[in-house]
Amino acid sequence: MTVSFILNGEDVAVKARSADRLVDLLRERFGVAGVLPDCRRGVCGKCLVLLDGRLAPSCLLPAFKARGREVVTIEGFAQTDEYGDIKGGFADAGLETCGFCDSGKILAAAALLERNSRPSREEILAEMSAVPCRCTDPEALVKGVQAAADRRARRLYRRADQ
Amino acid sequence: MTCLSDLAPEGMVHVLTIRSPSARGRIVAVEPPHLPKGYRLAVAADIPGENRLRSLGVEVPILASGRVAYEGEPLALLAGPDPMVLAELAAQVRVEIEEEEPLLSWETFSSDQVVAKRVAVVGDPELAFSIADKVLEDAYVSGPLEHWYSEPQGALASFDYDKIAVRCATQWPYHVRDSVALALGSRPEEVVVRPTRLGAHLDGKLWYPSLLACHAALAAFLLKRPARLLLTREEDFRFSPKRASSSVAVRAGLDPTGRLSALDLRIAVNVGAHAPLAEEILSQACLAASGAYACPNIRVEGYAVATDSPPMGAFAGLGAAPSFFALETTAARLAEAAGQDPVEWKARNILRKGSALITGEPLKEEPPYDEIAERLAKASDFRRKWACYELVRKRRTDRGDGPLRGIGFAFAYQGAGSSLSGETPGAYAVEAVLDKELRLLIKTSAAVSGGSAIDIWRNSAAELLGIPLESVAVAPPDTDSAPDSGPVSLSRGIAVVNKLVERSCLAIQKRRFRDPLPISARSVYRFPKPLRWAEGRVEGSPFETAAWGGAVVEVELDAWSLEPRPLGVWLCVDGGRIVSPGRARSALRACAAGALGSCLRESLGCDEGRVAPSAYYRYGLLPLSELPPIEVDFVGAERRSAAKGVGELPFDTVPAAFLAAVSLAAGARLDTLPVGPEILASTEGA
Amino acid sequence: MLISEVHSPQSLPELLELMRRLPAAALYSGGTELLREQAGKYIFLPPETISIGALPELRQVSLTERYLEIGAAVTLAEILELKESALPELLAGALRGVATPALRNLATLGGNLATRSRFMDLWAPLACLDALAELKDAAGSRWINVNRLADDEGRPAFPPGALLSRIRVPLERWDAVALRKVGLRDYPAPETAVFALAARAEKGILSDFRLAFAGETALRLREVEGRILGRRLPLGAKERASFAAEYREAAAGLPSGLRQQFGTLVDGALDLISR
């Protein structure tokens, strides 16, 4: 079957089989490195994408589920101001990651801040549970998301001022 | 650094593993269906060199031949260009095994299952027991644990002109190199390993990547194309080495003042099949059996038991954690029996400078127990809470009195600098080169460790040579750029390699103003004398230095379901000189989160030593939302002693502290983790 | 079977016709149930699959003063985003306990409720609230009480060939609600179950009392509830003990760990309403 969807802002179409997971299509056909197939159960967060603006594990999406929808990976998200807020916030908090869960963490933080611009510690931990990883220091992660929220607020405030 | 799963060179073939469906038996047939062009099945007979991985003194077959030793053992490899075609072909491979009854029992075992035995006796335990004031007996089982490292295991092999290039995530690049060379019948120099990003490993990638590298290399050799083997997470979960399960039976005797007068420990460790690290794991388990306590009469008897299960191995260290768990849990009961609070009881019994270790040698340093205990007690308000919760539990009439709470404290050490049996002394080195522009390049295969270790070395070098940090670089850990610095494990990356970096820099510093630049220096790791276990004694130094640490865990039992909820974790660690406290704190918190996970959630279903197939779907790390605040404190930094590895300490201490807390809250004697609904059985009567 | 024929109906009548024609086809909504026990590179689906997650008729949410209606293809995350006053706390609590935020963006109400092998997290709170489920097939549509999705033995009894199109949840004021999930939280293991309680009192008399418990099997004892109703609060110790005993007896068929937990939960429930 041919599946047409929007990938990082571009209209794309790909020949896929019912058995193909979106995560593998993204990597193998579109060269997207920002999603990693790992647990294939939707729990590790390494394959997260934004599907119509919502955080979703691309390993649990058969190709046909992407039809007509908007898929954003970290490559697409990296073009946004929000990405800068989050990268900066994580750096402010000294958050260290293993390198495998970064994209998932950034997208999860983005999804959270989009809905809730000043999340509490509990709200952060609840949302970031989508990307559990051995490398994560929970305190640094909370601080990182809060710092990202600060940066975002300052940026939007500056923009409002102009 | 690149991730293995991102590497897909042109013309690459994928490799799938055909595994044994049986745990024991004779291989009758492994028959592929008709294979299209470009697809190939490889069996043991196709291995050009030797069909074995020489790992730390034990031989592991690369592909099973003749007989199978465990369910899931690799029998053959199927390689080809299209992964879907490959998956369909793999499903049609016919495997016939003449099955035999598998040997899965390990808590009770027959003598032919014993691959290693350790016995050590100090003093006269039997006499001490006969006159002891109180004697307690307990038995503990620690199940297998899954590493859930950052990336499932795999390897990519390709021919690079006249060399075989291997890429994989590994804690020991040179072991990969030598293993692939042996398998292909090549000289080690003909193989070059360029490690990929390692991420968090928890000691799960010490030797197994070498096996997978041999698989990939074999496929590349036969098909004359780059070949990549990537285990799915599920395959990795079920078949790569897990933490070896162990059972520890403890008999402890107290004298009339409540001091520990006798210990008798019986340990059995399920090392699975082939068991490359059996000797080491058993040694560490036995050495840690008496915990951090001074006891004049000790008997330890340990067995590494082989079963027809996948090889089991290291997990955040090599076997000490289950022993600390057992002894610290018993210690909580001993304190109770002695009528003392845990902090006080430990203070009276902890090892001190000059105390005899189980090897008979006196301890050279003073464990900073008092300082650690004081800091922890203060930070967590331990004494008051412990007394209060104890009282509340005794007086409680019904649930209306509020939820049940408990608090526990455990103390342990992490030894550093010991050798792994089977290693060649003098084989590991670190090199450094100072060039004309006064830039330093550190070369070590241990650079696979990544970020924080590398920063520590760079800091050490910059400091010693008086050059800016930006002038210090670390070469990639490729085997054609860096020397073999041995396996990187949780204790070695810092303690050993940092020392070698420092020594190299000091050597350069000495010659710097005399000799022309560039100057290079090479430091070789001098192994401490290995321990000698013989005639019921163990001699030697169990470790060069030790990092000491304690943990306090507070829990609350849900008022309705009685499930334990952690309220707080406090860690206090003496790791020597801490170059970067923020980072070290972060790393310890991440470890503590993992340790807490092993208490609450991470369960593999100990199905007679095998990892049950459904266990993968049940498994998960503890969600972040269930983590309590975790506080980490350091002591001893001002003493300027060498940096020590501390990554194992959370696993050595948190489980026992957790269990003590839950036991206090529930008024029950609990002895396994994770804690299940049986906790209710004990509280029903309370 | 690596290749499945995937049908994407564009309307509800088209869907129902497909279901009639292909009775063995899998309904793919959020997919979390279909994909649950698979972790290989490829996805195995039955030979025929019908994708229903995007059908607008199944994604409606409507709110009146007395009811909340939710379409079966609405995701769990979307339900949680409804305003607080519209979403009963019992339901919200259960939703929060399902999987992770990312998975809740895929998992749908229908996928959680229309299960045949065991009960998932939403049955107990919805049964407690006496929610109604609309079932459709080619012959027509009907509303049934969610409690009837369990048979007399407490086993799942979702009618074969039927489509769950929406649920209707009564919005009522409760004086006491409680929800607890026991066992493995992120996986529907045999020891995983959800306990739900809702109760109301008027002038010191218990006017409504509902207790539901569901894991592999479901438990709701209307007969016992009927006898607890009308009692004066606080309940006396003897009364509590007697009702607790009845519940425990009814739970005799549960595995021992779960049975003990259920007993403690019932004690908690009776205790709660007495305050």
Return d(Cα C248, Cα A123) in angstroms, integer: 37
Q: What is the DSSP letter of B63?
A: S
pLDDT of residue C2: 66
Query: Which residues numbered 34-73 in A keep a CB inside 8 Å of some CB on C?
Result: 37, 39-43, 45, 48, 51, 54-57, 60-62, 64-65, 67-68
| A62·C103 Cβ contact <8 A | no
Q: How many domains is chain C built from?
A: 1
Quick: pLDDT tens for B340-358: 989 999 999 999 998 888 8
Kindly report the nearest CA distance between residue B219 and chain A, in angstroms: 21
pLDDT: which is higher, C68 or B451:
C68
Instruction: Report if residue C47 sits inside a domain.
Output: no
- Listing DSSP states for B644-667 in one string gives ---TTHHHHHHHHHHHHHHHHHHT
CATH of B429-524, one of 3.30.365.10, 3.90.1150.10, 3.40.50.12780, 3.30.390.50: 3.30.365.10
Task: Mutate one of A92, A97, A135 to test the B interface: name it (highest B CB count within 10 A).
Answer: A135
pLDDT of residue B532: 84
Q: Chain B partners of C260 at a C-beta cutoff of 8 Å?
A: 677, 680-681, 684
Q: Which residues pair with C201 in a beta bridge?
A: C206
Q: Chain C partners of A66 at a C-beta cutoff of 8 Å?
A: none
Q: How many CB pairs under 8 A join A and B?
A: 95
Residue A78 exposure: Cα atoms within 13 Å on the Cβ side: 9
pLDDT of residue B605: 67
**B682 pLDDT more than 60:** no
B372 burial via Cβ count (<10 Å: 0-12, 13-18, 19+) = buried
pLDDT of residue B681: 58
ipTM of the complex: 0.95
Q: Is the pTM of this model over 0.80?
A: yes
CB B621 within 8 A of CB B148: yes
Nearest CB to C41 within list B87, B562, B676: B87
Once rounded to an integer, what is the mean pLDDT over residues C207-215?
Answer: 95
| B620·C187 Cβ contact <8 A | yes
> Boundaries of CATH 3.10.20.30 in chain A?
2-77
Once rounded to an integer, what is the mean pLDDT over residues C16-22?
Answer: 95
CA dihedral of B481, B487, B489, B492, whole degrees rounded to 10? -80
Closest CA to B331 of B410, B240, B401: B410
Quick: pLDDT tens for C166-178: 999 999 999 999 9
pLDDT of residue B422: 59
CATH number at residue C180: 3.30.390.50
CATH of B245-418+539-684, one of 3.40.50.2300, 3.40.50.300, 3.30.365.10, 3.20.20.70: 3.30.365.10
**C165 pLDDT more than 50:** yes
Percent of chain C clearing pLDDT 70 (strictly above):
99
Percentages (nearest 5) of helix, strand, coil residues in chain A: 50, 15, 35
Phi first, then psi: what are they for B301, rounded to 5°?
A: -135, 120
pLDDT of residue B640: 63
Once rounded to an integer, what is the mean pLDDT over residues B443-465?
Answer: 90
Q: Helix A102-115 and helix A81-92: axis angle, to 10°? A: 110
**B528 pLDDT more than 80:** no
pLDDT of residue B398: 62
Once rounded to an integer, what is the mean pLDDT over residues C46-63?
Answer: 94
Task: Mutate one of C32, C37, C41 to test the B interface: name it (highest B CB count within 10 A).
Answer: C41
| C3·A17 Cβ contact <8 A | yes
Range of the domain at C221: 176-273
Q: Chain C partners of A37 at a C-beta cutoff of 8 Å?
A: 41
pLDDT of residue B177: 97
pLDDT of residue B399: 57
CA angle, B229 then A65 then C158, to 5°: 105
Q: Are strands B163-167 and B191-193 parallel, antiparallel or unpaired?
A: parallel
Burial track C231-244 (b if 16+ CB lie within 10 A, e otherwise): beeebeeebbeebb
Cα Rg of chain A, angstroms: 16
**B512 pLDDT more than 80:** yes
Q: Chain A partners of C103 at a C-beta cutoff of 8 Å?
A: 42-43, 57, 60, 130
CA dihedral of B435, B438, B439, B445, whole degrees rounded to 10? 60
CB B176 within 8 A of CB B193: yes
Identity of residue B140:
Y
Find out if CATH 3.40.309.10 is the number for domain B4-102+147-239.
no
| A37·B5 Cβ contact <8 A | yes
Walk across the sheet containing B74-80 and list its strands: B40-42, B74-80, B13-19, B227-230, B154-160, B163-167, B191-193
> Which stretches of chain B sit within 8 Å of chain C by CB?
83-84, 87-88, 232-234, 398-400, 558-563, 616-618, 620, 623, 676-678, 680-681, 684
| C31·A62 Cβ contact <8 A | yes
Q: Chain B partners of C40 at a C-beta cutoff of 8 Å?
A: 87, 232, 234
Return d(Cα A54, Cα A59) in angstroms, integer: 15
Q: Which residues pair with B301 in a beta bridge?
A: B119, B266
**Number of helical (H) and strand (E) elements in chain A, helices listed first:** 6, 5
Q: Is the CB of A116 inside 8 Å of chain C's CB atoms? A: no
Q: Are strands B472-474 and B440-443 parallel, antiparallel or unpaired?
A: parallel
- Residue C142 confidence class, pLDDT cut points 50, 70, 90: very high
- Residue B432 confidence class, pLDDT cut points 50, 70, 90: very high
What chain A residue is nearest to B617 in terms of C-alpha separation? A41
**B686 pLDDT more than 50:** no
Both tokens of residue A161?
């001022």
For the domain made up of A2-77, give the CATH fold.
Ubiquitin-like (UB roll) (3.10.20)
**B597 pLDDT more than 60:** yes
Alpha-carbon distances, residue B551 vs B359, B627, B654, B662, C135 (angstroms) = 26, 15, 6, 14, 55
pLDDT of residue B677: 64
CATH class of A81-161: mainly alpha
Which uninterrupted H or E stretch holds B414? Answer: strand B404-416
Return d(Cα A83, Cα B424) in angstroms, integer: 49
Q: Is the CB of B630 inside 8 Å of chain A's CB atoms? A: yes
- Residue B607 confidence class, pLDDT cut points 50, 70, 90: low
**B319 pLDDT more than 70:** yes
Nearest CB to A133 within list B1, B5, B150: B150
What chain C residue is nearest to B625 in terms of C-alpha separation? C100
Query: CA B260 from chain center: how many Å?
Result: 29
**B277 pLDDT more than 90:** no
Once rounded to an integer, what is the mean pLDDT over residues C8-31?
Answer: 94
> Boundaries of CATH 1.10.150.120 in chain A?
81-161
Return d(Cα C139, Cα A151) in angstroms, integer: 57
pLDDT of residue B603: 74
**B542 pLDDT more than 80:** no
pLDDT of residue B134: 94
Q: Helix A102-115 and helix A121-128: axis angle, to 10°? A: 130
pLDDT of residue B418: 62
- Listing DSSP states for chain C in one string gives ----EEE--SSHHHHHHHHHH-TTPEEESS-TTTTTT--SSS----SEEEE-TT-GGGS-EEE-SSEEEEETTSBHHHHHTS-GGGS-HHHHHHHHTSS-HHHHTT-BHHHHHS-SSS--TTHHHHHHTT-EEEEEETTEEEEEEGGGGB-TTS-B-PPTT-EEEEEEEE----SEEEEEEES-TTS--TT-EEEEEEEEEETTEEEEEEEEEESSSEEE-HHHHHHHTTPBSSPPHHHHHHHHHHHHHHGGGS-HHHHHHHHHHHHHHHHHHT-
Instruction: Report if residue C229 sits inside a domain.
Output: yes
Q: Which residues pair with C144 in a beta bridge?
A: C133
Kindly report the nearest CA distance between residue B677 and chain C, in angstroms: 5
pLDDT of residue B685: 42
pLDDT: which is higher, A83 or C187:
A83
